[in-house]
Chain A
Amino acid sequence: MTKQIHLAAHFPGVNNTTVWSDPASGSQIDFDSFRHLAQTAERGKFDFFFLAEGLRLREAKGRIHDLDVVGRPESLTVLSALAAVTTHLGLAATVNSTFNEPYEVARRLATLDHLSGGRAAWNVVTSFDAFTGENFRRGGFLDEADRYTRAEEFLRTARELWDSWAPDAVAADPASGWFLRPGGVTPFRHQGRHFDISGLFSTPRGPQGHPVIIQAGDSDEGREFAASSADVIFSRHSKLDEGRAFYRDVKRRLAAYGRRPEDLKILPAVTYVLGDTDAEARERAVEIRRAQVSPQTAIYFLEAVWGRDLSGYDPDGPLPDVEPDLDEGVAKGHAAFRRDRGELVAKWRALAAEKNLSIRELAIEVSAPQTFIGTPRAVADEIDHFVQTDAADGFIFVPHLTPGGLDDLVDKVVPLLQEKGVFRADYTGPTLRDHLGLSPRTPNRTEENR
């Protein structure tokens, strides 16, 4: 059977995928930029619009990193405003489970679900670092080993809070005089390793019951967390073979939790470049890569691997002749470099020698190229091929330009997918769960408490 494709859009983020130097690049903070991207995604009948989060500005060499876009708004606040200017688009907020508490996050997510008519999603992220903790009351209180145990218990606790209001708890019936139905709101009590809380939850259950849960972790623990608890995985595996392996691995984990393969959608984050011909698309892709990897970014990119200051080197010259300092970390506030840096340096040197590459050329060569490059027809075919051969259930598109970065995808590629019959011509229901083909969450406690 032909699989239906799920499409989502990511607001251009605070990394070098986002090109801020282009004359067409607009504000990263003005609401109009968010509105334009969200309305474009909705025009393309996308499943959802995604906002990332980072609770401390990135630093390099002890100073705030200044080469990429810096700064963004609070996700839930912007998504709530976007709910007013869209009608069907899902609204996905990244909210950290380490520097928040379940009561507050649960009520904010339930609120967004109410205020959007059932379109809320929560990307549950974990962090543990003392660096981010410096902005919060508890500091860096959590051990790395516990970030998923806390995230898992956090989500479980949030679900208990959402379930403490029956779907019909609000009677609002002047005739009987009951605002709340008797037994409609049940006290909660959660006692666990990370949370020991009790009382009454203050926000009625949202239209979706529970918001859609997104998870992005890639470790074994992260995959298991997703298999047990998530509705969508934001995956990094955007190559066909890796994507298939990841897809198989995660989908096979579902049965252990009594879940079906279709209960969890796997959506890799991808980038794209279109052209009227393949050659034109390839040419544009190279231009964009050069804009993404400025001379300064190329040096920064190597510094993260070398572990030392390379600002004295010419980005258009050969690779640094010094050896990497393997004990020093340079960058803070983004995903840690976990590969063996010494090995990486040797590999890059060999590659640079073989192809005669400068620092900047190497940085462009080894950092991720765009996922889909080609004519609209070729890109539509490739997207469909990925999905039909189980490398993904769809994609989260990360445009490189704010706010126009989705325009050509929606205008040129989406109609071709619709023509193929693999993507919706229109929304078939009002909620994000409807778009994703997920069943509504019914409360675990319905029977015993009614």
Chain B
Amino acid sequence: MTLHLAVALDGAGWHPAAWRAEGARPDRLFTPGYWADLVVEAERGLLDFVTFEDALGLQSSRPGEPDERLDQVRGRLDAVLIASRVAPLTSRIGLVPTAGTTHTEPFHVAIGIASLDHVSRGRAGWRPQVFARPDQVAHFGRRPPFPALDRSPDRDPALLDHLRNLFGEAADVVEVIRRLWDSWEDDAEIRDVATGRFIDRDKLHYIDFSGDWFSVKGPSITPRSPQGQPLVTSLAHSELPYEFAAKASDVVYVTPRDREDAAAIVESVRAAEAAAGRTEPPLRIFADLVVFLDAHDAAGRKARLDDLDGAELESDAHVFTGTPEELAALLLNWRDAGLAGFRLRPGVLPHDLAAITRGLVPELQAAGAFRTAYDTGDLRGRLGLARPASRYAKAS
């Protein structure tokens, strides 16, 4: 059985001192060429897709509030626009930007991702993300202040309620967006000269969504995109986001510590699917790992970056240091716990990305566990998902 492989792109890489590493290009982070080079390299390695992180606030080493640090990467470009910028320069790789569900208008996200799917000819995905950070609320001034995130929600019922609320809203956002993506049937454009009609308006549909947080009328202003439903992917560390993924996503990224943990998480995710009464194809479960890859002493390279940053790297995901061969063995072992694939977070860009495409990928190919050429399908097809008909199309 083969596995799926994605790479998560963010700034100079996932180590806070990555921008100071040898070969890093920190002065180019905000240029299009930087992103183009990375995605072209990922496509060269036949990866399934790349993701682009985003947020509506400045990065911070503290949960939920800005810090004063000047020695880490700060500043980001809009992820949907980066994905679109690299689309014409690539032809196969999936492009999966983050867009938030908390402050952004669902309508804008729907047309943005649908447009990315048009521009990339069926390679668009989306990572919906709840933005719970209190400082971001003040950037918009539209909602009451959010509680601080410095406690565990398990011990703070008010915080847990708040997060439930944000995830509930996020599920509605995805529902609205999926309806908007279906609001044009595929054959709505008819160009019928005899009757003077450009579209058959019976094939455009109001979505008439009304929920606890907002309502949206529809239809979309953007015709149905090549995939119909671009791939929805979300990151999850606990029950609440598992539930969200079970309701909303096609792919879920999880963060197991080891193989046993992976098996336990897969079980939790499947239970969440059953509880949600999921009728869609089962979630494709990807494990996230931060990776530092070298033929010799990746751990030493990572340790030197830790020293520069003044602290050991902390991550929600397992941090792997070692050789591509060792990583290949680990991935094949974890895969058997029920994972469909992995989203690797390169510790340093472009170094660890190149180690994935030029080191890890050949190892996996040699083991018969990774493709040796791209198929011709769209991104959904690559994940084994059919192109769905619009939910509004009448069965003929």
Contact = CB atoms under 8 A, between A and B. Distances in A.
B141 to A, nearest CB: 4
A80 B71 contact: no
Given A108-B81, A177-B20, A202-B76, A84 B86 contact: yes
A195 B222 contact: no
A186 to B, nearest CB: 12
Given A73-B118, A134-B217, A84 B73 contact: no
A114 B30 contact: yes
A66 B200 contact: yes
B113 to A, nearest CB: 8
A136 B216 contact: yes
A74 to B, nearest CB: 4
B57 A70 contact: no
Contacts of A71: 184, 189, 199, 221-223
A78 B116 CA distance: 8
B196 A67 contact: yes
Contacts of B138: 197-199
B124 to A, nearest CB: 10
Contact of B223 (A29, A85, A196): A29
Interface string B205-239: 00000000111111101110000000000000000
Contacts of B26: 172, 174, 179
A74 B111 contact: yes
B204 A111 contact: no
Contacts of B73: 179
Interface in A305-357: none
A276 interface: no
Contacts of A177: 20, 71, 308
Contacts of A178: 70-71
Contacts of A182: 70
Contacts of B370: none
A170 B75 contact: yes
A83 B82 CA distance: 11
B74 interface: yes
Contacts of A74: 108, 111-112, 114-115, 222
Given A54-B221, A115-B85, A135-B218, A170 B197 contact: no
A208 to B, nearest CB: 13
A173 to B, nearest CB: 8
B89 interface: yes
A117 interface: yes
A149 interface: no
B55 A104 contact: no
B104 interface: yes
B198 interface: yes
A78 B115 contact: yes
Interface residues of A, number: 73
Given A66-B198, A117-B32, A179-B71, A101 B81 contact: no
Contact of B198 (A35, A70, A110): A70
Contacts of A165: 75
A80 B79 CA distance: 11
Q: Looking at A57, A74, A103, A112, which has the most chain B CB atoms within 10 Å of its CB?
A: A74
B72 interface: yes
Interface string B83-97: 011111100000000
A74 B141 CA distance: 25
Interface string B8-42: 00000000000110001011011110001000000
A104 B118 contact: no
21 contacts: A20-B191, A21-B193, A71-B222, A72-B222, A74-B222, A77-B80, A81-B119, A104-B103, A107-B78, A108-B81, A111-B82, A114-B30, A170-B27, A170-B29, A172-B26, A174-B19, A185-B75, A198-B138, A198-B139, A200-B66, A203-B76
Given A136-B105, A198-B139, A204-B75, 9 more contacts: A66-B200, A67-B198, A70-B189, A77-B81, A77-B115, A115-B82, A172-B19, A181-B70, A199-B136
